[in-house]
């Protein structure tokens, strides 16, 4: 099935609305993963945050891809507690700012902008690939997005699974030391869900 070539504001609104539905469906699993190595609130926090994003996009209808992502990022920062609000908010806002005011963007444009968003997340959290965080899914996804939306989805999924044997070096899970080994990182898992929603909308 051919993927979409030009992505306009409506495409980005569909992506984030779809992500909200996926996170709503998977919230319990995300919280379960977080209860093993975190505060057991990741699913509930993101569910609330992305529901607010879907709501604000419906009311405001931003007119460019960049504006959609900036509005979504702002909403996440203001509604989600813990670390995930600022981190996801930064990801979407920085990606949106990198897209600028273009009325539509290509997959390659989005790949470059997403890489900028991911880099901003790394700076904010002081993390890198291998630290057992959302970056383990996002960095390979941004790189693979240059090839296709499906490749980005697969890379994010592999990255999330690859966190299982890692020892956490950042965030709440790092306090557990070696006890964090053997658990899949909730942030990497929710990041993979976000990219999966993107690939699904691109293929629709």
Per residue in 144-185, pLDDT (tens digit) is 999 999 999 999 999 999 999 999 998 888 888 898 899 999
- In this prediction, residue 85 has a pLDDT band, given cuts at 50, 70 and 90, of very high
Q: Report the C-alpha gap between 55 and 72 in whole angstroms.
A: 10
- How many degrees, rounded to 5, is the angle at CA 20 between CA 23 and CA 78? 100
Cβ–Cβ under 8 Å, residues 85 and 93:
no
If one counts every other C-beta atom within 10 angstroms of the C-beta of residue 163, the result is 29
User: Looking at the predicted structure, is the pLDDT value of residue 64 above 90?
Assistant: yes
pLDDT of residue 2: 65
Query: Which among 189, 175, 188, 193 is positioned nearest to 37, based on CA atoms?
Result: 175
Q: Which residue has the tokens 């898992």?
A: 189
User: Looking at the predicted structure, is the pLDDT value of residue 89 above 80?
Assistant: yes
Q: Which residue pairs from 157-162 have beta carbons closer than 8 angstroms and sit at least 24 positions apart in sequence?
A: 157/192, 157/196, 159/129, 159/188, 159/192, 160/136, 160/184, 160/185, 160/188, 160/189, 160/191, 160/192, 162/136
Q: Report the C-alpha gap between 88 and 70 in whole angstroms.
A: 11
Query: Which among 183, 169, 185 is positioned nearest to 84, based on CA atoms?
Result: 185
> What six digits make up the tokens of 170?
């950042």
Q: Which residue has the tokens 């990219």?
A: 195
Write down the mean pLDDT value for the chain.
94
How are the residues of the chain apportioned to helix, strand and coil, as percentages rounded to the nearest 5? Answer: 75, 5, 25
If one counts every other C-beta atom within 10 angstroms of the C-beta of residue 112, the result is 16
pLDDT of residue 1: 54
User: Looking at the predicted structure, is the pLDDT value of residue 4 above 80?
Assistant: no
């Amino acid at each position: 099935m051919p993927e979409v070539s030009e992505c306009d504001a409506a495409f980005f609104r569909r992506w984030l609305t779809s992500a909200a539905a996926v996170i709503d469906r998977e919230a319990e699993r995300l919280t379960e993963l977080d209860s093993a190595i975190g505060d057991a609130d990741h699913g509930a926090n993101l569910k609330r945050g992305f529901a607010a994003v879907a709501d604000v996009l419906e009311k405001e209808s931003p007119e460019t891809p960049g504006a959609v992502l900036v509005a979504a990022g702002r909403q996440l920062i203001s509604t989600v507690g813990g670390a995930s609000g600022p981190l996801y908010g930064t990801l979407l806002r920085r990606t949106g700012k990198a897209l600028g005011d273009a009325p539509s963007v290509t997959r390659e444009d989005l790949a470059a902008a997403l890489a900028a968003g991911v880099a901003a997340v790394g700076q904010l959290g002081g993390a890198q690939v291998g630290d057992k965080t959302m970056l383990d899914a996002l960095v390979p996804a941004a790189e693979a997005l240059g090839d296709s939306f499906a490749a980005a989805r697969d890379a994010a999924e592999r990255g999330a699974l690859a966190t299982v044997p890692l020892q956490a070096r950042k965030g709440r899970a790092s306090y557990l030391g070696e006890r964090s080994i053997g658990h899949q990182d909730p942030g990497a898992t929710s990041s993979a869900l976000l990219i999966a929603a993107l690939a699904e909308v691109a293929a629709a």
